Amino acid sequence: MSDKELRRYSSVVVDGVEQAPSRAMLRAVGFTEEDFGKPQIGIASTWSMVTPCNMHIDGLADEAARGANAAGGKGVVFNTISVSDGISMGTPGMRYSLVSREIIADSIEAVAGAEGFDGVVAIGGCDKNMPGCVMALARLNRPSVFVYGGTIKPGAKRRDIVSVFEAVGARSGGTIDDEELLEVEQTAIPGPGACGGMYTANTMASAIEALGMSLANSSAQEAVSEQKMGDCHRAGEAVLNLIRKDIKPLDIMTREAFENAIAVVIALGGSTNAVLHLLGIAREAGVELTLDDFTRIGAKVPVLADVRPSGRYLMSELIEIGGIQPLMKRMLDHGLLHGDCLTVTGNTLAENLADVADYPDGQDIVRDFDKPIKPDSHLSILYGNLAPDGAVAKITGKEGLRFEGNARVYHSEEDALAAILEGMVVAGDVVVIRYEGPKGAPGMREMLSPTGAIMGKGLGKDVALITDGRFSGGSHGFVVGHVSPEAAVGGPIALIRDGDRIVIDAERKEINVDVSESEMAERRAGWKRPPSPVRTGVLAKYRNEVSSASEGAVTIPPAWD
């Protein structure tokens, strides 16, 4: 490949007499004469002091730039935003969380496109900035690597952020006092890194690695570690290799690669948000992926990892026994992964896994195939008269596989949480939280506060919760989210009334309300959409453009011929 071909995009910006003004600007930010002849590698950093998930990423971005420079490129670091789910959870600010995924994708695309980067390293460390990064890489389709910022170390007594949410419920239930709650609050988050269980950040890091867009074990390294710094350096080098081999994201993100990602998420017992994000990334990559693909793949892939929130172990403990690479090797050997998929190493998945050692004897974090936690997927796609376009349940079997109860309806997360904490929700209830969907919230808030309160009160097996919103990866219990169509567009969830009998059946993959069609039609005729809580700004834009959760809640406009 010629020098000009290696600099396919940057040469337009810096070559020739007419680009002297561009070069003058770049000299001011540290470019030397030699740098103008090197491929430019944009390092998209999600660093900020907004959240512990991302507070260390500035150092990781600098290391990725050093890796790019060492391999013959010119690394250029730039930033994009990040918001914190853990901080905004349960507040109106959580409306911005999913919206930030689109803002991040837009901003990385804008900077890389404007600056003429020949390749990109994107570093994300929290739930929405990770899929946002990969969505941008798919749009740009320039040689790219995604780096996960890494998981947090465990807090005292193996605590994490979910421990705090559940402690709030325990305090309300009277099983702990204010002093004990404060002690949990003060010790759960010891420093940098993403939430420590198989919540959305670690789930998406694993999915992106299985997709082929990260280097081996990028998903299974602590945020503050030599391994993570090495991962960043190698990522910078890897992009130069991809440029020389002309391997781009859309060469990697094939339909088979998405099937690999789904399979790994299931084996790990990962977050329901993976459904939303993989649908969104696939849409950006031009790959046809639907809710039914999760059902199809889930029928043959067991849950094998005993990790939080439903299991016992933290991500750091999975890291200690080898991370997800040995699991992927086992899955490949069992015919559950497509080994011929290309990855950012320049090799296939099978080639990457060829020399991976198995887990050590005696570990019980990852089960054998003959002793799975669940023989099929914990992610159940449910349909029925309550969710004609589908809903996503996270049911490991520990909660049971069927729940029947009476609806207790709330028009917001805040109202539902107050009722749970005040003891108004009792065994046998199905808590219905509506007008929290992509358009209704707007922004599709996560319901970790209500689910945490339910678990903390000891009602995890006795109360179900359904919503047109979504769940944190830390949520567990008998929960169903992404109910589509959502209430704000007149979906059936908008028509439920207190006392209606609701049946959730994970084995039959159904969710129904015991109300006749004629009664539902009568209710629909009298339904009026409540006023939206926003009128201007980015939330209003999002509300007007966003698609259904069943399509990934993306904001891609229709084609303009």
52, 125 Cβ separation under 8 angstroms: no
Per-residue pLDDT of the chain (561 residues; tens, 9 = 90+): 787 889 999 999 999 999 999 999 999 999 999 999 999 999 999 999 999 999 999 999 999 999 999 999 999 999 999 999 889 988 999 999 999 999 999 999 999 999 999 999 999 998 899 999 999 999 999 999 999 999 999 999 999 988 998 898 889 889 999 999 999 999 999 999 999 999 999 999 999 999 999 999 999 999 999 999 999 999 999 999 999 999 999 999 999 999 999 999 999 999 999 999 999 999 999 999 999 999 999 999 999 999 998 899 999 999 999 999 999 999 999 999 999 999 999 999 999 999 999 999 999 999 999 999 999 999 999 999 999 999 999 888 777 889 999 999 999 999 999 999 999 999 999 999 999 999 999 999 999 889 889 988 999 889 999 999 999 877 877 899 999 999 999 999 999 999 999 999 999 999 999 999 999 999 999 999 999 999 999 999 999 999 999 999 999 776 676
DSSP 550: G
435, 487 Cβ separation under 8 angstroms: yes
Q: Which residues of 152-168 are buried (b: 16+ CB within 10 A; e: fewer)?
A: bbbbeeebbbbbbbbbb
- Pick the catalytic residue from 218, 472, 475, 550: 472
The C-alpha angle 185, 186, 191, rounded to 5 degrees, equals 110
Does the bond joining 557 to the residue before it have cis omega, within 30 degrees of 0?
no
Longest dimension (CA), the chain: 76
DSSP 535: -
Q: How far apart are CA 272 and CA 190, in angstroms?
A: 26
Q: Which amino acid is at 331?
A: M
Residue corresponding to tokens 């009998």: 501
Q: How far apart are CA 379 and CA 390, in angstroms?
A: 12
Residue ranges and CATH numbers for the domains of the chain are: 3-16+31-153+191-353 (3.40.50.2300), 154-190 (no CATH), 379-551 (3.50.30.80)
Q: In what order do the strands lie in the sheet with 119-124?
A: 74-79, 40-45, 119-124, 144-148
Q: Which amino acid is at 319?
A: I
In order, the DSSP letters of 450-492 are HHHHHHHTT-TTT-EEEESSB--TT--SEEEEEEES-GGGT-G
Parallel, antiparallel or unpaired: strands 510-513 and 501-505: antiparallel
Catalytic-residue membership of 316: no
Tell me the three state secondary structure of residue 234.
Answer: helix
pTM score of the predicted model: 0.96
Q: How far apart are CA 280 and CA 130, in angstroms?
A: 12
Q: How far apart are CA 546 and CA 225, in angstroms?
A: 38
Q: How far apart are CA 554 and CA 245, in angstroms?
A: 31
